[in-house]
Amino acid sequence: METNSSVKLTAIDSSAPEPGGSQGARRATGEAPGSGGTRTSSIVAPDPEVAEKRSRRRFTAKYKLRILQQADNCNQPGQLGALLRREGLYSSNLTAWRRQREKGMLTGLAPKKRGRKNKPKNPLAEKIARLEKENRKLRLKLKQAETIIDVQKKISQMLEATQDLNDEKD
Residue 115, domain member (yes or no): no
DSSP-derived 3-state class of residue 102: helix
Residue 83, domain member (yes or no): yes
Residue 116, domain member (yes or no): no
Tell me, yes or no, whether 67 and 105 share the same domain: yes
Write down the pLDDT at residue 29: 45
What is the number of domains present in the chain? 3
Residue 55, domain member (yes or no): no
Determine the length of the chain: 170
pLDDT tens-digit profile of 95-130?
999 988 888 765 655 667 788 888 888 888 889 999
Residue 153, domain member (yes or no): yes
Write down the pLDDT at residue 38: 54
Rounded-to-5 percentages of helix, strand, coil across the chain: 50, 5, 45
Per-residue pLDDT tens listing for the chain (170 residues): 444 544 444 444 444 444 444 444 444 444 445 555 555 567 888 777 877 787 888 888 889 989 999 999 999 999 999 999 999 999 999 999 998 888 876 565 566 778 888 888 888 888 999 999 999 999 999 999 999 999 999 999 988 888 877 777 76
pTM: 0.36
Write down the pLDDT at residue 17: 44
Give me the domain span that covers residue 74.
61-109
Tell me, yes or no, whether 68 and 105 share the same domain: yes
- Measuring CA to CA, which residue among 106, 110, 101 is closest to residue 71? 101
Residue 12 pairs with which residues in a beta bridge? 28
Tell me, yes or no, whether 96 and 67 share the same domain: yes
Residue 114, domain member (yes or no): no
Write down the pLDDT at residue 8: 46
Residue 166, domain member (yes or no): yes
Residue 35, domain member (yes or no): yes
Write down the pLDDT at residue 62: 86
